[in-house]
Amino acid sequence: MTYYLVFDIGGTSTRCALVTQRGECLALASSADPGNPLAGGTDRMVAAVAKAALTALEVGRVAADGIGGFLMAVAGGTEAALEAAHARLRGLGITGRRLDNPGGDGLAAFAAGTWRPTGYALVAGTGAVGMRVENGTPAAVSDGLGWLLGDGGSGFWIGRQAVRAAIGDLRGECRPTALTRLVLGRLDELTGRKLSLAPRPQAAGGLLAAVYEMPPANLGRFAPLVFELPDDQTAQSILAQAGRALADTLRTLVVESAPPVLVLAGGVLANHPELGAEAQGVLDEMAGEVEVSVARDGLVGAAVLALRAAGTQVGPAEFRRVQTSLARLRGPTATPSPSSGQASSRPRRAEKSAPAESEES
Amino acid sequence: MTYYLVFDIGGTSTRCALVTQRGECLALASSADPGNPLAGGTDRMVAAVAKAALTALEVGRVAADGIGGFLMAVAGGTEAALEAAHARLRGLGITGRRLDNPGGDGLAAFAAGTWRPTGYALVAGTGAVGMRVENGTPAAVSDGLGWLLGDGGSGFWIGRQAVRAAIGDLRGECRPTALTRLVLGRLDELTGRKLSLAPRPQAAGGLLAAVYEMPPANLGRFAPLVFELPDDQTAQSILAQAGRALADTLRTLVVESAPPVLVLAGGVLANHPELGAEAQGVLDEMAGEVEVSVARDGLVGAAVLALRAAGTQVGPAEFRRVQTSLARLRGPTATPSPSSGQASSRPRRAEKSAPAESEES
Binary contact (B216, A148; C-beta < 8 A): yes
Percent of chain B at pLDDT > 70 equals 89
Distance CA B182, CA A184 (A): 42
Using only C-alpha atoms, what is the Rg of chain A? 21
d(CA B103, CA B52): 22
Share of chain A above pLDDT 90, in %: 68
Q: Are A144 and A124 in contact (CB under 8 A)?
A: no
- Which residue on chain B is closest to A77 by alpha carbon? B209
Q: What is the pLDDT of residues B45-57, one digit of tens each?
A: 899 999 999 999 9
Task: Sort out which chain A residues have CB atoms less than 8 A from B149's CB and list them.
Answer: 160, 163-164, 167, 208, 211
For B308, the 3-state DSSP assignment is: helix
pLDDT, position A126: 85
| Pairwise CB contact (< 8 Å): A164 & B148 | no
| pLDDT 10s digits, B11-43 | 778 899 999 999 999 999 987 776 666 667 788
The 10s digit of each residue's pLDDT in A128-137 is 999 999 999 9
pLDDT band (50, 70, 90) for residue B332: low
What confidence score (pLDDT) does residue A287 get? 82
Confidence of residue A342 (pLDDT cuts 50, 70, 90): very low
DSSP states along B74-118? ETT--HHHHHHHHHHHHHTT--SEEPP-TTHHHHHHHHHH-S-SS
Alpha-carbon distances of B221 from A45, A120, A167, B360, rounded to whole Å: 30, 36, 27, 7
Ranking A146-160, A243-257, A336-350, B295-309 by mean pLDDT, the lowest is: A336-350
Query: What is the least distance, in Å, from the CA of A223 to any CA of chain B?
Result: 14
Mean pLDDT of chain B: 87
Count of CB pairs separated by less than 8 Å, A with B? 55
User: CB-based contact (8 Å) between B275 and chain A?
Assistant: no
The answer, for B164 touching chain A at a CB cutoff of 8 Å, is yes
Distance CA A326, CA A333 (A): 12
Mean pLDDT of A260-274: 94
Q: What is the mean pLDDT of residues A327-354?
A: 50
Phi then psi for A7, rounded to 5 degrees?
-125, 140
Q: How far apart are CA A324 and CA A342, in angstroms?
A: 9
* 0.90 surpassed by pTM: no
Q: Residue A247 belongs to what H/E stretch?
A: helix A233-251
Judge whether residue A168 has pLDDT over 50. Answer: yes
**Average pLDDT of chain A?**
87
pLDDT at A341 over 90: no
Q: Are A343 and A328 in contact (CB under 8 A)?
A: yes
| Number of other CB atoms surrounding residue A350 within 10 Å | 17
Best interface-test mutation with A: which of B148, B163, B248 has the largest number of A CBs within 10 A?
B148
Mean pLDDT of A270-297: 92
DSSP string for A47-105: HHHHHHHHHHHHHHT--GGGEEEEEEEETT--HHHHHHHHHHHHHTT--SEEPP-TTHH
pLDDT digits (tens, 9 = 90+) for B76-127: 667 888 899 999 999 999 988 999 888 777 899 999 999 999 999 999 988 8
So what's the ipTM on this one?
0.72
What residues in B contact A38, CB-CB < 8 Å?
Answer: 212
Please give the pLDDT value at position B100. 85
Q: Per the CB < 8 Å rule, is B79 touching A205?
A: yes
Instruction: Compute how many other C-beta atoms are within 10 angstroms of the C-beta atom of residue B102.
Output: 11
pLDDT tens readout for residues A15-25 = 999 999 999 99
C-alpha A297 chain-centroid distance = 8
Q: What 8-state DSSP symbol labels residue A360?
A: T
Q: Hey, are the CB atoms on B142 and A173 less than 8 Å from each other?
A: yes
